[in-house]
Amino acid sequence: MAFWDGLSPVVQDSSLLLALLAPIVLLGGALLRGYAPWAVLRALLWRSRVAALVFVALIAVSVGLGVALLAQERALRQGAARAADGFDLIVTAPGSEVTMLLATVYLQPSDVPLLDGAIYAEIARDPRVTLAAPIAFGDSYNGAPVVGTIAGFVDHLSGPLIEGRMFADHREAVVGARADVAMGAELEPAHGTGIDADAHAHSEEHYKVVGRMAATGSPWDRAILVPIEGVWEVHGLAAGHAEGAQDALGPPFEPTLFPGTPAILVVADRLVDNYALRAAFTRSDTMAFFPGAVIAMLNGLMGDVRQLMSVMALVTQTLVMAGVIAGLVILMRLFAGSLALLRAIGAPARFVFAVVWAYAAGLSVIGAALGLLLGRGAADILSRVISARTEVLVQANLGWPEVHLVAGFVTICVFVGLVPAALALRRIVVADLRA
């Protein structure tokens, strides 16, 4: 076991695949050695082409379903985790971590209480903190979230902009990579989001798009990021800066003139500091959480569902396999005359056995291979739909778990294929010859 654990994952995965496929190769080799059953197989396949196609399709669909589910589920988890990259530690008013996670990381609209200027100042002042970015969501433009923040957050999330420049004025905006607004466009934000958004709430206020962020694979790619001062002003609130410096942009803010923010992203350089900060801001008036940890917890809760899915996929495949085997046994009647002829003219029992087995194994292998492709395609389509619906970039790829599942399934099929082969040998040759 120590040896196995010491191997690299790729070596482990490919060894497992080989171990799963080895029985097929060994069995096939043992049964077919010294024979050339291809003409007979070709004839039987053609004779039963409709049934064979149905079997292959059944196997392909059931395998494809399992593969797609597995790949999709993993992609979803990876996508959700990737979308939370960069959101190290979030501080909000006390409440539900899941709600805050959805609102902050995935920009799902929700009404949440605000943190005041004193708390922001306390966080920003902390020597362990390298970035304390307010995240003021709640407004929208054409259904896309308009979020007030500071330039440091844009840098943190996007890195270098792919177009234009950083906002330098309360009325400028930087948009996400996939936001449906052009550079230089003037936007009129609405208060609230979705169908309840009040389009005329801020009728006199406009933002001008001056930059575009790199893609992050998260809902932030559709967001419009503006200086938080702009959001406050649009709502007729103080703009965070003392008289005489009203046009200033970004921190430090004047705590008494800080109207509030629903969430603050906190970034610290050292991991231990992250934990210390979480501890420090978990108190009666604030809540601090790691989005990654909340996602992990949710994944843990989903673990049972995942297992259920796997079991269901397996049950489906087993049922399909049972159906196919039953079908094969019935099909043997279609082959009975030919197989009896072969045995009558002196074909060894192993030859006839190998022919029937190769027929069943061939259908399983072809069906499973098609299923792998089908599953890949289905997962691709599902990914696109989910990506479009949730704005979380989900990219399903075939991974080792799917390959192992299919290899295991094929191996089982190939062994079950011994059943019709054995039944074919039990038929009475002279009776089938007379038929």
Partner 1 sequence: MPAPENMELSVKGLIVTGAQRRKLLDLPCLTLAPGQSLGISGPSGAGKTTLLHAVAGLIPVNTGAIQWGDTDLADLSDAGRARFRAAHMGLVFQTAHLFDELSALDNAAIAAGFAPKHARAAIRDRAREHLQKLGVQASTGRAVATFSGGERQRISMSRALARSPAILLADEPTASLDRAAAERLGDDLLDFSRQGGTLIVVSHDPSVLARMDTVLRLADGQVMQ
Ligand X SMILES: Nc1ncnc2c1ncn2[C@@H]1O[C@H](COP(=O)(O)OP(=O)(O)O)[C@@H](O)[C@H]1O
Chain contacts with partner 1 (rule: CB under 8 A): 34-40, 42-43, 46-47, 337-338, 340-349, 351, 429-430, 433-435
Answer with the entry of partner 1, ligand X, none that 351 interacts with (C-beta below 5 to 8 A by kind): partner 1
Answer with the entry of ligand X, partner 1, none that 51 interacts with (C-beta below 5 to 8 A by kind): none
315 binds ligand X, rule: CB under 6 A:
no
Burial of 308 (C-beta count, 10 Å sphere; 0-12/13-18/19+):
exposed
- Comparing CB distances to partner 1, the nearer of 207 and 351 is 351
What amino acid occupies position 428? I
Helix (H, G, I), strand (E, B) or coil at 392: coil
- Comparing CB distances to ligand X, the nearer of 81 and 425 is 425
Measured in residues, the chain has a length of: 435
381 binds ligand X, rule: CB under 6 A:
no
Contact 312, 304 (CB under 8 A): no
Nearest distance from C-beta of residue 337 to partner 1, angstroms = 5
Task: Name residues whose C-beta falls within 8 Å of residue 6's C-beta, 6 or more positions apart in sequence.
Answer: none
Identify the H or E element spanning 295.
helix 291-344
Q: What are the two backbone dihedrals, phi and then psi, of residue 184, each rounded to the nearest 5 degrees?
A: 85, -5
- Comparing CB distances to partner 1, the nearer of 38 and 275 is 38
Helix, strand and coil content of the chain, in percent to the nearest 5, comes to: 60, 15, 30
Answer with the entry of partner 1, ligand X, none that 431 interacts with (C-beta below 5 to 8 A by kind): ligand X
344 binds ligand X, rule: CB under 6 A:
no
Contact 369, 409 (CB under 8 A): no
Nearest distance from C-beta of residue 389 to partner 1, angstroms = 50
Answer with the entry of partner 1, ligand X, none that 43 interacts with (C-beta below 5 to 8 A by kind): partner 1
- Comparing CB distances to ligand X, the nearer of 206 and 427 is 427
433 binds ligand X, rule: CB under 6 A:
no
Nearest distance from C-beta of residue 81 to partner 1, angstroms = 54
DSSP assigned state of 149 = E
Nearest distance from C-beta of residue 432 to ligand X, angstroms = 9
DSSP 185-245: -EE--EESSGGG-BTTTTTT--EEEEEEPPP-SSGGGG-EEEEHHHHHHHTT---SS-TT-
Of the candidates 138, 149, 128, 135, which has an alpha carbon nearest to the alpha carbon of residue 281? 128
Nearest distance from C-beta of residue 431 to ligand X, angstroms = 5
Q: How many CB atoms lie within 10 A of CB 144?
A: 24
Nearest distance from C-beta of residue 434 to ligand X, angstroms = 5
DSSP assigned state of 113 = P
**Token pair for residue 35?**
């024979």
- Comparing CB distances to partner 1, the nearer of 42 and 165 is 42
Answer with the entry of ligand X, partner 1, none that 3 interacts with (C-beta below 5 to 8 A by kind): none
Answer with the entry of ligand X, partner 1, none that 275 interacts with (C-beta below 5 to 8 A by kind): none
- Comparing CB distances to ligand X, the nearer of 18 and 430 is 430
> How many amino acids of this chain bind ligand X (CB under 6 A)?
2
- Comparing CB distances to partner 1, the nearer of 31 and 71 is 31
431 binds ligand X, rule: CB under 6 A:
yes
Helix (H, G, I), strand (E, B) or coil at 20: helix
What amino acid occupies position 390? T
Could you tell me whether strands 163-164 and 172-175 are parallel, antiparallel, or unpaired per DSSP bridges?
unpaired
Answer with the entry of partner 1, ligand X, none that 184 interacts with (C-beta below 5 to 8 A by kind): none
Answer with the entry of partner 1, ligand X, none that 200 interacts with (C-beta below 5 to 8 A by kind): none
Nearest distance from C-beta of residue 435 to ligand X, angstroms = 8
Answer with the entry of partner 1, ligand X, none that 349 interacts with (C-beta below 5 to 8 A by kind): partner 1
Of the candidates 426, 126, 59, 71, which has an alpha carbon nearest to the alpha carbon of residue 264? 126
Could you list the residues that contact ligand X (CB under 6 A)? Answer: 431, 434
